[in-house]
A = this chain, B = another copy of it.
Amino acid sequence: MKDYIKHINKDFESRARLGIMSVLMVTESVNFSYLKEALQLTDGNLSSHLRTLEEAGYLQVEKQFIGRKPSTSYQATKQGTTAFKNHLDALERLILTNKNQD
C-alpha cells in the first residue's frame, strides 16, 4: 500500500470527525452546542462521533454546571492533536501526489 494511504487514520475519515478535530485544534475547549452549530449535526450524530473520538483517546470530556445548567465541554488530548496532525500530513501527501500528476 502506498505509504501516505497507510497513514490516513480511519478514526478521522468522516467529515464530521474531521470537523470536530479541526474545531478543537483552534479552540482549546468547546461545548456541545457550539460543535453542533458549527458542524450542523444532529445531537445523536454528534454524540456518536464524539464518543468514538473519546474512546480512541483523542479528546477529553468535562462535565460541569454553569449556574444550574449542566454543560459538557470537549478538548483535544495531546495524543489527539498528534494523531490529527499526522492524519493531515498523510492527506497532504496524497494531495501533492495527485497534483504532481496534473
Stretch at the interface among A42-50, A67-75, A94-102: A94-102
**CA of A92 to CA of B14, assembled, Å:** 15
Known: A25-B98, A91-B95, A101-B25. A18 touches B40 (CB 8 A): no
**CA of A1 to CA of B14, assembled, Å:** 15
Interface size class of chain A, counting residues whose CB lies under 8 Å from the partner chain: 20 to 34
- A: residues with CB less than 8 A from B are 1-2, 5, 8, 10, 13-15, 18-19, 22, 25-26, 38-40, 84-85, 88, 91-92, 94-95, 97-99, 101
Interface of A is mostly: helix
Contact B1 A39 (CB under 8 A): yes
Contact A15 B13 (CB under 8 A): yes
Contacts of A94 in B (CB 8 A): 18, 22, 88
